[in-house]
Each structure stands twice: as C-alpha cells, then as structure tokens.
Amino acid sequence: MKILYIADIVGKPGRTMFKYHIDKIRENFAPDLIIVNGENASHGFGLSGKNAKELFNAGVDLFTGGNHSWDKKDIIPFLESENILRPVNYPKSAPGKGIAYLEAGEERLVVINLMGYFTMPMVDNPFTMIETIVSELHEAGHKNIFIDFHAEATSEKNTLFALLKGKVSAICGSHTHVGTDDLVIDQGTFYVSDVGLTGCRDGVIGMDTKQPLQRFLTGVGSKFDVPGRCKRILQGVLFEIEAGKCIDAFKIKAYDEGEVFISQHAFKE
C-alpha cells in the first residue's frame, strides 16, 4: 500500500499547486491513498466547506487538521460526516473525530490526527493518549497505522517517534510549514519531523512578508495574509507499507509548474 501525504496546504497557492501536480504524481508514483493536512487551505486559516469539496474533487481521500481546524465555522458539519479529521486529543465534546479507517483494495489504513502541547491550545496529553489508542488498535488486529503529529517542537515529535518506533507504520510531522531532512525508517516505522508547506515559498511560512516583518521589527502584530501572487512549492512524502511496516519512503517536491521530483529517500536503519 502506497500513501501520499502532503502538509500543510496554505491558501489558494497551495490548492493550485495540488490540483496542478496531482495527476502527474499519480502517474509517476501510483499512490493508493492521498492524505492532506488542510487546516490552512482556506486563505491560510482553516478549511472551508467549499475548499474541502474542491480538494476532495481533485483527489484527496482524507484531510487531517490541527489548531486551525475550527477557524472556518462552516466546516463543523463536515467534521461529523466527511473524511476530515481534527486532533484526537481535543476534548471528546469537540465536534468531529480524530481517527479514520481508509480502505485501499484489501488493505486498511488507520489514520490518527494528534496534536502536540508546546504553544498549542489545551488538549489531552498526546503521549499517554496515543499509547492507549495504539495498544487498542493492535488488540483489534490493525497493523497499518499512520499518525499526523501536528506539533511545533521537534523535540516533541522526536519523542513520539521514540515512543512508537516499531509500533506504527509512519509518523509525519506537520504545523511548522518548514520541511526537515530527517527522513528515516527504523524498526519498520517511517518518520519525518515536518513535511513542509505546499503554497508560497518566497514569503514567511506561506504568508506575505509584510506582517511578520512588522511584528519582529516593531513588536506590533497584525493578521497574516496569503499573497495573491508568489513563487510556489509542493512538498509531500510517499511511503509504502507491507504488513504494518514501512519498506520505502521518500520526499517529493515541485516548484511552480516544473516537474515533480524525488528530493530525498528515507535513511533505513
């Protein structure tokens, strides 16, 4: 089973890059499932119902989310009925779900959306909760398990990898919008601290430079904005699972309307 994971899609530039390149990605890499972190897909903050439908129609099988999952209020009904996740460690009373079960032929993939602690909204302990969830999934016979860990600190992400190494198929970090080069497969678990954004590449984390510069130069903040025109990038990872273990993984990139290429293979321990 081959899974394509793209994070984080930021605004219209990110949606445009996904729609432009997805057919070529399918042709070249033949993913069985396409998973996207979409919490910034609607002008950088949240995912609207309209944009969810747009990207579902373009080929997304499942959306994961994060701390911006609730920014567009019209998405809340979709959280109950569609393949759109929010972090599993939000309070149980919050709308939506944090775990999904996807079918690919005769295989099933369990997808878990988890959020970290550092600089994030108040949620349940991700480490103690995920230990229980993974143990219950194993008892139920599930082997193919993928976690989108939406967290700020690389130390949190590294610690989750240490906790679950050999117990899940893949852990991919999202949220920072800055890709890392620490792709590794160890004890059958694929790990990368952050996949990086899909959207504008010549600003600050996919946003226009004006507001971040103002904040750092003057201490006075204002709302971030996605540029109308920019240089763009697509970043994703494709990993292959057999019997619950990742056997291959690599990073893919595309710049503007250029070719999609493999930028890095995961190191195998």
Query: What amino acid positions are annotated as catalytic residues?
Result: 68
Tokens of 54: 């747009």
Query: What's the rounded Cα separation, in Å, for the pair 265 and 112?
Result: 24
| Residue of 241, 239, 243, 236 whose CA lies nearest to 261 | 236
Asked whether the beta carbons of 68 and 94 are under 8 A apart, the reply is no
Give, in degrees to the nearest 5, the angle at Cα 172 between 247 and 82.
Answer: 105
CA distance 102 to 122: 28
252, 238 contact by CB (below 8 A): yes
Length of the chain as a residue count:
269
* CA atoms in the 13 A half-sphere facing the CB of 246: 34
